[in-house]
Amino acid sequence: MSAPLIFIYLPSGTATASDVQAYLQASHEAMAIVSIALSDGSIPWQYVDVVLTGGTDEIRSIDATEASASLVRRSLHFSLPAAGLYDIGLTRLTPDSTDQLIRDQAVWTVLRTMQEALQLYPSGMAMVAMRIKATDQLNGTVDQFNVLAQSILPDWTGSAWLPAVTANPASIYRDVLQGSANARPLADDRLDLVTFQGFHQRCAANGFTFNASIDYLTTVRALGTDVLAAGRATPGLRDGLYSIVEDLAQLVPAHILTPRNSWGFKGTKVFADLPHALKMQFVNPAKDFQQDQILVYADGYDASNATIFESMDAGVGVTSPDQAWKLGRYHLAVLSLRPETYELNCDFEHLVFQRGDLVMVQHDVPLFALISGRIKTVTLDSIGRTTAIGLDEPCVMEAGQRYGVRIRLQDGTQIQREVETVAGTQTTFTLLQPI
């Protein structure tokens, strides 16, 4: 009969098997009955397996017998009464076998200590515990570990920012600016929260999310740009506050630029073969978070007639095929409807508007409107309304055409009015509807 290896941890003065048995049975709660082999090979008694309650008082056994030609691993778990320093010993009680088919070499590989109920530090972090079975395939440390995690961040409910599980780009961008990963987190009064709230609502309505594991060094600016790109936006500043710039349709212009308050106007137009479809690449959770792609066709094209394809990355954090499709359609629209880029210079008037605002431009080179001028005279009716204006710039009017003016008032607001058509060169214009 093959005797097991015995883990011995005895109180001082314990000499015989009967002493050990009496000590264990009298002092500890029984958990299991295990056969023990003495050094002479006999098995005269059985002892009770125990949980330590203090002192030097335990015997634990490891049975390492198995009919296998492969390496046999065994582990032993035991509890200690309190944190401190302990001397742990392992004694093999069986002699070497004379049988050539039996391997007797035993190696103590490692001793590890674990403390339960560790305090999580820093606060707000999650801890994952793993229990790994040692096999022939285990070598060294675990270098791959997958987990599906969710962020609990302040999220806009429509009336307040409350902690919730969220992947909304607005909530994540706010955490980038204010969270623990930022070495210099910003206070609430440094953020344009009204714009954040509107962006949050539009992302929720369009199904825009950001899902990524940031396990690399980056900057607040770079990460914020990646997060907002998932919602078709970019970082910006408004009135000195950290804000968000979106490409939104607007009706009210913030300013008017003309040759009177700007210079250096130039335009660039790109003549390119527009793709018939975009291959939008993204990480697909439905395919074990592997790279995937979705075809996004331009208007008038489908699988039957599309021949020009371009590949495009949907961006960091995009894991939804629907979101990738929407982003692809947006980029196709930009390629088709915005082939020209215009540039001009202006002085301090640029302070009136900011990136993302709608700005009107009048210039004679691209034939944006006819003229620009300053109002020299104003004609009022009996109740003080403006019925006609005189400009310092002449305008040639043609019979049968309709003309209008856009007037920027002193407070920056703008008014549009149709004027009476009088053929020829005119400097005075009668408003069809008084101001």
Question: What global pTM score does this model have?
Answer: 0.68
Question: Does residue 242 contact residue 220 with C-beta atoms inside 8 Å?
Answer: no
Mean pLDDT of 2-29: 46
Q: Which amino acid is at 28?
A: H
Cis amide prior to 163 (ω within 30 degrees) = no
Give the model's pLDDT for residue 120.
59
Model confidence at 6, pLDDT cuts 50, 70, 90, reads: very low
Extract the tokens encoding 134: 């040692």
Strand pairing report for 386-397 and 375-380: antiparallel
Residue 101: CB atoms within 10 A of its CB come to 7
**Which residues on adjacent β-strands are paired with residue 293?**
281
Asked if pLDDT for residue 46 goes beyond 50, the answer is no
Provide mean pLDDT across the span 315-342. Answer: 94
Across the range 40-62, mean pLDDT stands at 47
Mean local confidence (pLDDT), 409-431:
91
Cis link prior to 122 (omega < 30° from 0)? yes
What pLDDT score was predicted for residue 5?
35
Q: Is the C-alpha dihedral spanning 306, 307, 310, 316 positive or negative?
A: positive
Q: What is the mean pLDDT of the chain?
A: 83
pLDDT at 30: 35
Question: In the prediction, which pLDDT does 334 show?
Answer: 93
CB-side neighbour CA atoms (13 Å) of 99: 6
In this prediction, residue 45 carries a pLDDT of: 39
Hunting for tokens 């910006």 — which residue is that?
A: 236
**Cβ atoms < 10 Å from Cβ of 13:** 7
CA–CA dist 28, 50 (Å, integer): 6
Rounded mean pLDDT, 169-188: 94
If DSSP codes are grouped into helix, strand and coil, which group holds residue 328?
helix
- Report whether pLDDT(118) > 90: no
- CB count in 10 Å sphere of residue 191: 18
Does the pLDDT at position 213 exceed 60? yes
3-state secondary structure of 349: helix
How much of the chain, in percent, has pLDDT values that exceed 70? 83
What value does the mean pLDDT take over residues 221-238? 95
Residue pLDDT, tens place only, 380-401: 998 999 999 999 999 999 999 9
Two tokens, residue 107: 């190696």
Query: How far apart are the C-alpha atoms of 172 and 235, rounded to whole Å?
Result: 13
How far does CA 294 lie from the centroid of its chain? 21
Residues in the chain: 435
Whether the pLDDT of residue 126 is over 80: the answer is no
> What does the pLDDT read at residue 17?
52
Q: Is the pLDDT of residue 77 over 80?
A: no
Q: Residue 116 pLDDT > 80, yes or no?
A: no
Report whether pLDDT(51) > 50: no
pLDDT, tens only, 238-274: 989 999 999 998 888 888 999 999 999 999 998 888 9
pLDDT of residue 78: 74
d(CA 364, CA 395): 12
The pLDDT score that the predictor gives to residue 18 is: 58
Asked if 359 contacts 254 with a C-beta cutoff of 8 angstroms, the reply is yes
pLDDT band (50, 70, 90) for residue 11: very low
Find all residues with CB under 8 Å of 242, minimum gap 6, and list them: 177, 186, 190, 191, 192, 235
Q: Residue 16 — pLDDT band, cuts 50, 70, 90?
A: low
Please give the Cα distance from 320 to 203 (Å, whole number).
13
- 93 or 254, greater pLDDT: 254
- Whether the predicted pLDDT of 278 surpasses 50: yes
Distance CA 122, CA 357 (A): 42
- 222: pLDDT confidence band, cut at 50, 70 and 90? very high
**Residue 20 parent element (H or E):** helix 17-27
pLDDT bin (cut points 50, 70, 90) of residue 19 is: low
Q: Which residue has the tokens 């009668």?
A: 430
pLDDT (0 to 100) of residue 264: 93
Query: 352: pLDDT confidence band, cut at 50, 70 and 90?
Result: confident
| b/e sequence 126-149, b meaning 16+ C-beta within 10 Å | eeeeeeeeeeeeeeeeeeeeeeee
> How many alpha carbons fall within 13 Å on the CB side of residue 233?
27
Q: Alpha carbon 235 to chain centroid distance?
A: 15
The 3-class SS string of 159-207 reads: CCEEEEECCCHHHHHHHHHHCCCCCCCCCHHHECHHHHHHHHHHHHHHC
Q: Which residue has the tokens 């349709």?
A: 249
Each residue of 135-144: pLDDT tens digit? Answer: 776 677 777 7
- How far apart are alpha carbons 11 and 56 in whole angstroms? 5
Task: Return d(Cα 109, Cα 112) in angstroms, integer.
Answer: 10
| Residue 22, pLDDT score | 59
| pLDDT greater than 50 at residue 348 | yes
- The 8 Å CB, 24+ separation contacts for 375-381 are 375/407, 377/428, 381/434
Q: How much is the pLDDT for 7? A: 38
Mean pLDDT check: name the lowest of 40-44, 97-101, 206-210, 431-435: 40-44
Residues 59 and 419: their CA atoms lie apart, in Å, by 105
